[in-house]
Amino acid sequence: MNTIRVSATKARNNFFELLNQVAMGKSIIIERDSKEVAVISPKATDFDWKSFRKAAKAAHGIFKGLSIEEISPLRAKGAWKGFGEWDKS
């Protein structure tokens, strides 16, 4: 995301142009006396939980047939013995 820094006076004088920039995905930092006082950023979009659940269900069990050596090269045969030992309980 791009960020634009402007003075408070410039923000006041060009408010609608700054809104157009925000609508295009940019964030605006407004400064007064070289200090950040405000931020105008695009509205956060809602997360699509239905699509996420659908993708999670489709991916469930995708790594079932893999061994630990295939998943983690640090635990593969021939790897240094210290790798992977610290998290074994």
Out of 3.40.1000, 3.40.1620, 1.10.10, 3.40.50, which CATH number does the structure's domain 3-40 have? 3.40.1620
Name the pLDDT band for 88 (thresholds 50, 70, 90): low
Is the pTM higher than 0.75? no
- Looking at every residue in the chain, the average pLDDT score rounds to 83
Residues in CB range of 75: below 8 A, 6 or more apart: 68, 69, 83, 84
The amino acid that residue 14 corresponds to is N
Torsion 31-32-34-37 (CA) sign: negative
Which pLDDT tens digit goes with each residue over 25-82?
A: 899 999 999 999 999 999 888 888 888 888 888 887 777 777 766 667 666 667 666 6
The tokens for 47 are 């997360």
Examine the pLDDT at 24 and tell me if it is beyond 70.
yes
Which pLDDT tens digit goes with each residue over 44-58?
A: 888 888 888 888 888
Strand, coil or helix: 36: strand
